[in-house]
Structure 1
């Protein structure tokens, strides 16, 4: 490694640290991150990816999700490096002994850069970049705080095993244990240590786990979930003086693919919901640039016993009842919904538990989106039900077309 290469790495580390400090100071002061800072961090990450790697591999050279996947566990909880993009996604609705309510998100992304790095045995060589998002919601206090980070894999900074779930980005991690999954994250005054144990079997979305995102060949991902995870552990929020013992229910998604969104698909609305009658519900709508909904949008009903029912876009009716405009990004998000699935006799209304749960991820993906705890009520099979879960809204602060 020559002196210029070493100087570039040191300069990168200095710039990355300075920009993150600038971001954190702005967040604490309640100020929006400026476009200049956002661009600087994006360029820094680009420089970071180029140091020690070969050329970026074009999307079409990665393996495509074109046939049903032959699932084998625990292997498929791990990474799938032949595909370009992959994520492990956890959210949960929690409460403490005083019935105060909380929500959390912990997500890990693997973004492949080069299938054949120039120096594959060099620990600084880059094949994949790992990015992560961590957020806590204090529902009772109406507080929300989020964090994000990114890292190359070597030497040991981030990564994911191939034979089971063990994914980490610095000191944030999700690890499969004998009886469940252990989550851990720490950032400043915020910590999360949770144990997740499945109460329902694995759910495969779409065609045996192949979830279509559009009409083109390969425009799909492989997608499964653990929708009902009994959750116990501790959290510490920036607004609490000590760790809080919590319990509740979590949701886990694992998805991987190489060519999911076309340029005319601007974003998606996703819901992972728990109904008080024991049903779980996943719904996603892909929005197109002309305002229409992609016909491949779909959902899954998970019954109390774990059996599933696939939903096509035509089976689902979604109506926006209210909207909220972010004071930082200016994005106008749907904030209250009526969701109806006539064939399953589901009719529910949903709203955020805290209005502002917008993430601005300048230190990682560079995407601004809304992701947060929601709750509601309605009917399921003509019986009154309460609903809680998480909602994700992307593409309202800028199109994601062609990004994933």
Structure 2
């Protein structure tokens, strides 16, 4: 296929994604995630997770993602961030159709960040033709040449070891991810509420990855090591009609603890929060909305939007009070549905590294 044909096909697929998510999506919640989920499976409490099956796709639900972030350093202590995400979006309910009639749309995002640069790329694919997908066993998630692939032997409970690959016009990376501890069910046994109403997702994480590999920017490869975090979520309507987006953090403490936090921004200012504190031995404690205080401190103007890029986080019950600062305040993902995402460091009562994602601004 010639270049113009490829662009045309990707334009059609990208248009299908936009149509599937709704032309007025941003006014109704980030990426249309607050729209009606009629015909799709509901998220209800009490699900029993089963692995490796739940590492694979759930086409009866409307949306789903496989999302990895990595905090990395080179041999000289230079800091980097890497991100890899595969999204699945059903544009119509019902059983999967064959070939180009398949109603699953796939979208990939990848990025590399350091203090002076932020590079990103995106890719689109239609389901049913082999261009993108996820297989639970042996684990393999891909879109074009980007992939997250299980390395033999893969532990179903750890979803490790994995090889992660992505590339854009001016960056690429290949990382090997390992984990000795099992994944963590977020929320109440994997049932993660997003509001005081029925909005929820099924959600688990693997926060214990170690990472090692090669990261290339502008044809200059560097060896990197560090820590990585996998999030897996699927749902049919994770946002309420009065929620515009979320602010999410994954934190690696120097003590070995881990922390996931998010707040769903509501129009009335009564934002809904949740989190999970994960001890070094893997035991976890759920945090309620009332436990969490997230206060933006410094804003960065990007594309005429004011983005809160420095935060104060306090959880008095856990004696936590920290200030989170970005490695690069301009870590803007200028993709079809733009958002801010990048590596951070934090200090105060606790110190460490992590990732911040903010949608719907």
Relative to the length of structure 2, the TM-score reads: 0.88
After superposition, residues 46-195 of structure 1 pair within 5 angstroms as: 59-116=37-94, 120-121=97-98, 123-139=99-115, 142-163=116-137, 165-177=139-151, 178=153, 179-195=160-176
1:223 and 2:200 matched: no
After alignment, is 58-67 or 343-352 more displaced?
58-67
Of 337, 341, 358, the match for 1:367 = 337
Q: Which residue matches 2:278?
A: 302
1:288-310: per-residue Cα shift (whole Å, max 9, x none)?
1223212xx20000011111010
Summarize deviations over 1:67-122 as a string: whole Å, max 9, x none: 222112222111111111100000011011122111011111000123447x933x
Structure 2, unmatched stretches of 5+, are 22-34, 154-159
SS in 1 for 2:101: coil
Determine the structure 1 residue equivalent to 2:290: 314
Q: 1:98 to 1:43 in 2, by over 3 A?
A: same
Instruction: Give CA deviations for 1:136-166 in whole Å, capped at 9, x if unaligned.
Output: 0123xx1111111111124211111244532
Measured in 1, the distance between the counterparts of 2:51 and 2:181 equals 15
Select which of 231, 251, 256 maps to 2:234: 256
SS in 1 for 2:42: coil
Contact 1:76 1:164 survives alignment (8 Å) = no
2:307 corresponds, among 308, 322, 333, to: 333
Q: TM-score, normalised by structure 1?
A: 0.79
Task: Name the CA shift for 1:97/1:11 in 2 (closer, same or farther; >3 Å).
Answer: closer
1:390 aligned onto 2:360: no
> C-alpha displacement at 1:198, in angstroms?
1.3
Whole-Å separation in 1 of the counterparts to 2:291 and 2:20: 45
Mapped partners of 1:289, 1:137: distance in 2: 31
Larger radius of gyration: 1
Q: How many residues align?
A: 339
- 2:244 corresponds, among 254, 266, 277, to 266
What SS is found at the alignment partner of 1:243?
A: strand
Q: Which structure carries more strand by proportion?
A: 2
Of 225-234 and 160-169, the range deviating more from structure 2: 160-169
Question: Does the aligned pair in 2 maintain the 1:15–1:44 contact within 8 Å?
Answer: no
- 211, 214, 227: which is aligned to 2:195? 214
CA RMSD of aligned residues (A): 2.4
Q: Aligned with 1:124: secondary structure?
A: helix
1:41: how far off?
Answer: 8.6
Distance, in Å, in 2 between the alignment partners of 1:375 and 1:394 is 20
SS at match of 1:61: coil
2:346 match: 376
Q: Deviations over 1:209-251 (max 9, x none)?
A: 000112333x21000001120101111113xx33211110001
**Are residues 245 and 60 of structure 1, via their aligned partners in 2, closer, same or farther at CA, if it must alter by over 3 Å?**
same
User: What is aligned with 1:204?
Assistant: 185
